[in-house]
Structure 1
Amino acid sequence: MTLLTEPLAFSTGSAEAAGSGAVAMAQALAAHRAVFDQLEAQAAPLAEMAERLTACLSAGGKLLLCGQGASVPLARYLAGRLAGRSARGRRPLAVLALSADGVPWGDGDGLDLYARQVRGLGRPGDALLALSTSVEPAAAGAPTLLLNAVQAAREEGLSILGLLGPDNLALQQACHLSLLTPAAAQVHQQEAQMFLGHLLCGLIEVGLGLG
């Protein structure tokens, strides 16, 4: 075995690579700012959604969240923020992210995955928050995971809210109230969705006197 007697040399990249990185960052930041500059249009629906969820939770109801695609982990994160104990030691809230695991809830094609959980857990006075920035199926009226959940929530008497991308037209129409991310590349929609989710959680905490 040959022992190394000289220190290893690692390349830090050429000036050309550094320049390409700077250009890519500048372009990404410009696109990010363009999206976030449009979010002020969501201030009124954000405040209304926070009021509805504050009223729901203060009256003893619970909030169910469900996501699609990249919004699945965000639904879990937001539920954890509200249900968990914060650094201020406030009490946990009745908030639950529905399971995205197909066992044991889903049957058949799996499109009832969330709907069955809504029927099992939801009660009149509760709320469902559906999250998605995914493009919907091309076929008009095609059932989807979230649309089925929303339909179940409607039948069970839940308040139906959405944190959605601009192309989620069927979901927007099915919800009582929605927050919409601006039209942009999906990655920037997801960034905006998380920002709106953070704001929503903060407003709920303030509304409940926990902020």
Structure 2
Amino acid sequence: MINAIQEQIKASIETKEIVLKDEQLQLELVKLVEACLKSLSVGGKIIFCGNGGSFADAQHLSAEFTSRFMFDRAPLPSLALGTNSSAISAIGNDYGYEFVFSRELQSIATSDDVFVAISTSGNSKNVIAAIEVATEKSVPTYAFTGANGGKMKSMCNALCIPSNDTARIQECHILLGHILCGLVEKQYFAG
């Protein structure tokens, strides 16, 4: 059992070491940080979405902005799509689950916002539909995905984690998300 635990930890470390060496991925994260700072400076908000574990990550990262991350400060406007259970059930029932994020995004997003779509496969239909809405509304859009990026890679700025293992991808998504939150918070409140 100890060997199995150690193998999982080693696999996580190995994936993060590849991310550490991937300057292109890091440059995409810099672009996302800059987009968030620009958005916040003009009154925009940071919007996240995802399914399952990615939904949990979307809520987690949004909460880091609206509460606090590294230090006490004013809240930053952010939300995760799909957290209104009445809306998600109504949209799912009336239009189909494929539209639960896109309908909500259509109602609240402006071009001053930033949209962060999270999907380990990069192929989640409801997330892709939301990216299409964000594109129509000229919302700067970024995706956290897995190794090949799926369909999302060609649709927006993609931060592709170099792994096909869902657990490793999600571990790196939250790592990049925490880096994002920390850098935005530090830069935004630097003055």
3-state SS of 1:96 partner: strand
With 163-172 and 114-123 compared, the bigger mean Cα shift is at: 163-172
SS in structure 1 of the partner of residue 97 of structure 2: coil
Does the residue aligned with 1:183 lie in a helix, a strand or coil?
coil
Structure 2 residue identity aligned to 1:78: L
Aligned: 1:84 with 2:70: no
CA deviation after TM superposition for structure 1 residue 112, in Å = 0.7
1:128 equivalenced with 2:115 (yes/no) = yes
Aligned to 1:179: 159
1:121-176 deviation line (CA, Å, top 9, x unaligned): 00122111001103637xxxxxx10110001111112111111112332111111x
Aligned to 1:146: 127
> 2:89 corresponds to which residue?
103
Cα RMSD over matched residues? 1.9
Provide the residue aligned with 1:9 in structure 2: none
Which residue number corresponds to residue 38 of structure 1?
A: 18
Q: Point out the structure with the larger helix share.
A: 2
Residue 86 of structure 1: CA displacement?
A: 4.7
Distance in 2 of aligned mates of 1:173 and 1:154 = 12
Distance in 1 between the 2:168 and 2:70 partners? 29
Matching of residues 1-211 of structure 1 within 5 Å: 21-40=1-20, 41=22, 42-86=25-69, 88-100=71-83, 101=85, 102-106=88-92, 107-134=94-121, 136=123, 144-175=125-156, 177-209=157-189
The residue type paired with residue 197 of structure 1 is G
Structure 1 alignment gaps of length 5 or more = 1-20, 138-143
Q: What's the TM-score, normalizing by structure 1?
A: 0.81
CA distance in 2, matches of 1:135, 1:78: 19
Q: Given residue 183 of structure 1, which amino acid in structure 2 is its aligned partner?
A: S
In 2: Cα distance, 1:104 partner to 1:200 partner: 32
| TM-aligned CA distance change 1:39 to 1:26, over 3 Å | same
Counterpart amino acid of residue 64 in structure 1? I
Cα distance between partner residues in 2 of 1:26 and 1:166? 23
Query: Equivalents in 2 of 1:65, 1:91: separation in Å?
Result: 20
Unmatched tracts of structure 2, length 5 or more:
none
**TM score, norm. by length of structure 2:** 0.88
Q: 1:103 to 1:162 in 2, by over 3 A?
A: same
Tell me if the contact between 1:125 and 1:158 (Cα under 8 Å) persists in the aligned partners: yes
The percent identity for this pair of structures is 26
Per-residue deviation, 1:113: 0.5
State how far apart, in whole Å, the 1-side matches of 2:37 and 2:79 are. Answer: 15
Tell me the matched-pair count.
Answer: 184
Map Cα deviations across residues 47-87 of structure 1 (whole Å, 9 max, x no partner).
12101111111111111111123200010000001011457
